[in-house]
Amino acid sequence: MKDYTVLKASFGLHIKKIRESKGYSLIEVDQRCDLDESNISKIENGKVNIQLSTIFELAKGLGIEPKELLDFKI
């Protein structure tokens, strides 16, 4: 199995930057989508691999298009 630690960390940091740029707390994103605050935190901290459905939920919670979540550099 490949180690995707750097990829997960970069993706998580990207999510966090988007959230903070919009002035949203973890709780606010949680309330705007079908994801738990603790799961969002784990994603932002690069602790978990996520599914496609999670990308769509995060995008909904952040008020952006899903493709914007994948526009980051490693």
As a whole number of angstroms, the distance between CA 54 and CA 1 comes to 22
Report percent pLDDT > 90 for the chain: 92
Residue 49 confidence (pLDDT): 92
As a whole number of angstroms, the distance between CA 19 and CA 2 comes to 28
Give the tens place of pLDDT for each residue, 26-39.
999 999 999 999 99
| Superfamily, domain 5-69 | lambda repressor-like DNA-binding domains (1.10.260.40)
The residue extents of the domains of the chain are: 5-69
Residue 1 above 60 pLDDT?
no
- CA distance to 2, 22, 65, per residue, from 19 (Å): 28, 5, 13
- Going by pLDDT thresholds of 50, 70 and 90, the confidence category of residue 13 is very high
Kindly report the average pLDDT of the chain as a whole number. Answer: 95
CB 58 within 8 A of CB 15: yes
